[in-house]
Structure 1
Amino acid sequence: MNHKLKGVLLVLLSGLFYTYNTQAQTVNDSKFGKGLHFVAADSSFSLKFGTRFQLLYQGGNTPATGNWDDRFLIRRARLKFDGFAFSPRLEYKIELGLSNSDIGSDVPDLTNNADNIILDAVAKWHLTPNLQLWVGQTKLPGNRERVVSSQKLQFVDRSLLNSRFNLDRDAGLQLHHEHQLGQVVLREIGSISMGEGRDITVNNTGGYDYTARFEVLPFGAFKGGGDYVGSDIEREQTPKLSLATSFDYNSNAGRDQGQLGDFLSDTRSLRTWFVDAMFKYRGFSAMGEYANRKATDGPVVLRDELGDVAETFVTGTALNLQAGYLLPSNWELAARYTDFNPTTVTGIRQQDQYTLGVSKYIVGHSLKVQSDITLIQEASREDRTQFRLQMELAL
């Protein structure tokens, strides 16, 4: 851990313990999985502090060698701060990622260390009871699976659709609006952002990113925001459904996945469509997503002297379908199918994944053990199998 990161953590933790010592009488409603809550004596601000981590074992066969390759790692390690400032109408959220995977690389020498520890830093102003303005860095309103917190996933991690096409985090402005017609809930979200991902400190290499999302919940709101929670933890007593579509236009994107990936030697404008749905009823849950991304002037940026693709944007389509049933004992069985079809000219291999998962929820998503096994079928390669076992602990 470098000196800059140590300094950031020292300041944050010192402030937290100072607040605890001077305002201990204002702690309220603190319990396992919900973090520590503080409210200033004059009610001028509030602070909730939480932390969590994921311990992961991952192994898989390598057909070329016949070996079983595996590893243990800290998949995620997070510090989270949120509350209100000056007025309950002005909320904030700060989330820091501390593991190498959070920072952006599994290889320590290739990480940017403290330059990428900031995941979220956003202020949310309630303009009216139904309209919010968000300012700062946070997740864009893209596909549902990406907006679902990594703490609240149904499987050990998100799908291949998400890893190839998600919009991830970006810095800018977002407007969130919600209203109701009878029992039907309608949500509209729009954003304008930089288009190059989180914590970019260099000049913008291209244009801006524009995202719009529309959601319909025909049977009313889910309990506990369950339309963005994996598994039917709340055990909905009446059927609940959310249908949504998102469109994103990233003007002159500089990275091969828009907000993620390598910076390329030329830019392309990317158009991405998402359609997704979430359904829950009495322990049963199902989620589906479709993604479609195209690049203006074609995705390939550079070819080598042999004519092979050297640089390309990731474009194409993907479909992800998953479902699970949560037993009364809080064990869950789940299955997922993901199909990734990249644009042929990119030279990226088509891939299908079939996943079976088993989870035990001890304290909801705050303390759980999850495992899954995946059959990976990739064009022009032998089938391979991946096994994962993960524990989540959130305070």
Structure 2
Amino acid sequence: MALFAYCFVFVNHVAAQDDLRQKIETMPYYSYRKGMGITSADSIYQFNIRFRIQNRATFIKNNDGESAIDGQIRRLRLRFDGYVGNPKFTYLFQLSFAPGDVGEVEEGKDFNVIRDAVVFYEPNNKWTFGFGQTKLPGNRQRFNSSGGLQLTDRSINNAKFNIDRDFGFQVYRLNQFKNKFSYNVKAAVSMGEGRNFTENNDANLAYTAKLELYPFGSFSKSGEYFEGDILREEKPKLMISGAYHFNHKAKSSMGQTGSTLYVPKDMQSIFGDLIYKHRGFSFMSAYMQRKSNNPIAVNPNNASEFNFVYVGSGMDYQSSYMFKNHYEIIGRYSWQKVDKKIFQYTPNTKQLTLGLTKYIWEHAFKLQAEATYNIENYYNNSKKNNWYFRLQTEIGI
């Protein structure tokens, strides 16, 4: 009887061990490198989640003497990425919830919660193919995440001339090496109407091409995708890039963004970028230009009404130094000159910004302070001088 009881207990113990082993083998794997990730035990799928919050307070002093204090959630975003079935097929989607990201909700208008929704195929480390809505390979500052900025926002030229996100096909040819000459070629064919546009009634498209050169090899940890030399590059690193974008019969005043034009217009954009980093010092320069042969769009139903394509050019110069205690001082100067065909409707602008950033955990957790002086020169020789002081916190994973 005792032998029977022993055998019964032994069999149950073995069965329990087998059951526990089966449960362990079917449990997902968790990772905490970039966000919080889950990979199925059979590696059929991977799911990663990240978030970012930017809170800011701004004191604004306008030329007319009026002052204002503004406090807002500048950005609140959720990002998800991973793969399904095969690690060569990856996905990325990003949602935004802050009022400045979504914009005013209007009945019958497109809802702007979706920022990115794209599927990539990467057959090897040289080629990447994308299909969906995401950033076009235009100017570097726009292509970088807003979470990777040194200052609280991008430049005045980025605000007016960038080509932002669009829906379409993209292909990258990547040739990056650590310590020798490298280059990337990127191209896209897209709808030309910007993110979440659903009223397509023509066959007009936009075309983008970009070349990136790395004379001294690639940056540490993809350092070209975030501002400032927070990693203190031991060897000098340099990136020089140029991009061209043609948008056929664009419907908005700035191509993928802006107000709706009365008449669609062809637009051409040119971008040039330079990034240099070495031992805490960083320098960036950017040139942006948009052209249109006839930028004025007259209302075909009322000749007294018109709007226009925002055409012109501008330059940004931005430099910084990262101290070993993770404080960084930053300076930026931007000038923006509009085309003479629209100068009577909108001013030329210059802007000077000084900033101080404390990095608590790289770009994922930082405190930022900046003061900005803005000069607007108008067609009638009048001038407006405005400035603001801003504090911002950024936290995310």
- SS of the residue corresponding to residue 328 of structure 1 reads coil
Contact 1:23 / 1:39 at 8 angstroms: preserved in 2?
no
Match of 2:114 in 1: 118
Shift of 1:114: 7.9
- SS of the residue corresponding to residue 60 of structure 1 reads strand
Shift of 1:52: 1.1
Going from structure 1 to structure 2, the CA distance change for 1:290 and 1:209 (only over 3 Å counts) comes to: same
> Are 2:50 and 1:50 equivalent residues in the alignment?
yes
Going from structure 1 to structure 2, the CA distance change for 1:217 and 1:295 (only over 3 Å counts) comes to: same
Match of 1:7 in 2: none
Contact 1:24 / 1:38 at 8 angstroms: preserved in 2?
no
1:383 to 378, 382, 385: 385
- SS of the residue corresponding to residue 286 of structure 2 reads strand
Q: Distance in 1 between matches of 2:35 and 2:275?
A: 28
Identity of aligned residues (%): 33
Shift of 1:67: 2.6
Q: Deviations over 1:215-238 (max 9, x none)?
A: 000100101110111111111000
Shift of 1:388: 1.3
1:26 to 29, 33, 36: 29
User: After the TM superposition, which residues 237-256 of structure 1 pair with which residues of structure 2 at under 5 Å, given as runs?
Assistant: 237-256=234-253
- SS of the residue corresponding to residue 51 of structure 1 reads strand
Match of 1:193 in 2: 190
Q: Distance in 2 between matches of 1:157 and 1:38?
A: 32
Q: Distance in 2 between matches of 1:381 and 1:208?
A: 39
Match of 2:319 in 1: 323
Match of 2:357 in 1: 359
Shift of 1:63: 2.1
Shift of 1:292: 1.4
Match of 1:235 in 2: 232
Give the partner amino acid of 2:370: D
2:289 to 287, 292, 296: 292
Give the partner amino acid of 1:332: E
Match of 2:9 in 1: none
Match of 1:266 in 2: 263
Q: Distance in 1 between matches of 2:278 and 2:362?
A: 17
Match of 1:15 in 2: none
Q: Distance in 1 between matches of 2:149 and 2:261?
A: 32
Q: Distance in 2 between matches of 1:100 and 1:268?
A: 29
Match of 2:85 in 1: 86
Match of 1:278 in 2: 275
> Are 2:139 and 1:143 equivalent residues in the alignment?
yes
Going from structure 1 to structure 2, the CA distance change for 1:41 and 1:247 (only over 3 Å counts) comes to: same
Give the partner amino acid of 2:321: Y
Contact 1:123 / 1:136 at 8 angstroms: preserved in 2?
yes
Give the partner amino acid of 2:51: T
Q: Deviations over 1:81-124 (max 9, x none)?
A: 01122111111111000111111x2xx45598982111011111
Q: Distance in 2 between matches of 1:131 and 1:176?
A: 6
Going from structure 1 to structure 2, the CA distance change for 1:109 and 1:37 (only over 3 Å counts) comes to: closer
- SS of the residue corresponding to residue 257 of structure 2 reads coil
Q: Deviations over 1:286-332 (max 9, x none)?
A: 11100111113x1111389xx99840000011101100001111010
Going from structure 1 to structure 2, the CA distance change for 1:388 and 1:206 (only over 3 Å counts) comes to: farther
Match of 1:70 in 2: 69
1:175 to 148, 152, 171: 171
- SS of the residue corresponding to residue 314 of structure 1 reads coil
Q: Distance in 2 between matches of 1:67 and 1:249?
A: 41
- TM-score normalised by L of structure 1: 0.88
Report which stretch shifted further, 197-206 or 372-381.
Answer: 197-206
Q: Distance in 2 between matches of 1:67 and 1:261?
A: 27
- SS of the residue corresponding to residue 151 of structure 1 reads helix
Match of 1:59 in 2: 59
- SS of the residue corresponding to residue 146 of structure 1 reads helix
Give the partner amino acid of 2:134: T
> Are 2:352 and 1:349 equivalent residues in the alignment?
no
- TM-score normalised by L of structure 2: 0.88
Q: Distance in 2 between matches of 1:164 and 1:308?
A: 25
Going from structure 1 to structure 2, the CA distance change for 1:360 and 1:343 (only over 3 Å counts) comes to: same
Give the partner amino acid of 1:91: T
Unaligned 5+ residue runs, structure 2? Answer: 1-24
Shift of 1:203: 1.7
Q: Deviations over 1:342-380 (max 9, x none)?
A: 112212100000000110000011110111111101012
Match of 1:159 in 2: 155
Q: Distance in 1 between matches of 2:208 and 2:26?
A: 41
